[in-house]
């Protein structure tokens, strides 16, 4: 085992605890967390846009294609500004994209199942998958607030499970480090 990891088991535990706290906040206060996630996305878009423009300027200095970087940077900055100015609109557009994707892929799966019914058995599972996808898309369009809250809850649940596994790993690493010290094993797993 890597001794650096063993000596710094507490950092894994701290990361896990932070993920658990993040997940709990997402589950208990999904609206609050949604706003913060959107603002973080906006900040990321602004920073990414600045870096893309810098890359475009550097490419122009070397007489290379610069305009794709500049366009990307301007688009990123525009999205970042829109996100800060109207986070609700950004969330709604994201939800519309997810719902359109769910409906489109669902229809395509149903179509594929109809074509496959002559060739394989069990095609109804693909059709059912398509129907569920279409229903998800319709649900998101019909109840956008509930759809956004559900997405935040899923993220929160994932963060809690992720955090618990990191804390568990940290405790195992800590126990392994203690056993290595008492047995006199050399760092890095060498014997």
pLDDT band at 98 (very low <50, low <70, confident <90, very high): confident
Whether 99 is covered by a domain: the verdict is yes
Residue 165 clears pLDDT 90, i.e. is over it: yes
Contacts (Cβ under 8 Å, ≥6 apart) of 53: 69, 70, 73, 74, 77
List pLDDT tens digits, range 123-133.
Answer: 788 889 999 99
Instruction: Give the domain extent around 130.
Output: 3-181
Confidence (pLDDT) at 1: 46
Q: How many domains does the chain have?
A: 1
pTM, two decimal places = 0.62
Mean pLDDT value across the chain = 86
Whether 187 is covered by a domain: the verdict is no
Cβ atoms within 10 Å, residue 76 = 20
Whether 189 is covered by a domain: the verdict is no
């Amino acid at each position: 085992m890597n001794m650096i990891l063993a000596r710094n088991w507490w950092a894994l535990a701290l990361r896990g605890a932070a993920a658990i706290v993040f997940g709990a906040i997402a589950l208990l206060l999904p609206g609050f967390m949604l706003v913060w996630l959107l603002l973080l996305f906006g900040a990321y878009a602004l920073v990414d846009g600045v870096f893309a423009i810098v890359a475009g300027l550097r490419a122009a200095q070397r007489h290379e294609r610069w305009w794709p970087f500049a366009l990307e940077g301007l688009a990123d900055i525009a999205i970042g500004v829109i996100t800060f100015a109207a986070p609700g609109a950004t969330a709604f557009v994201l939800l519309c994209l997810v719902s359109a994707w769910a409906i489109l892929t669902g229809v395509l799966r149903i179509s594929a199942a109809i074509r496959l019914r002559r060739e394989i058995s069990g095609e109804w599972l693909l059709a059912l998958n398509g129907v569920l996808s279409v229903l998800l898309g319709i649900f998101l369009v019909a109840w956008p607030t509930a759809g956004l809250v559900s997405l935040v809850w899923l993220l929160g649940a994932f963060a809690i499970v992720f955090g618990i596994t990191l804390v568990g790993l940290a405790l195992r690493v800590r126990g392994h480090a203690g056993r290595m010290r008492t047995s006199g094993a050399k760092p890095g797993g060498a014997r």
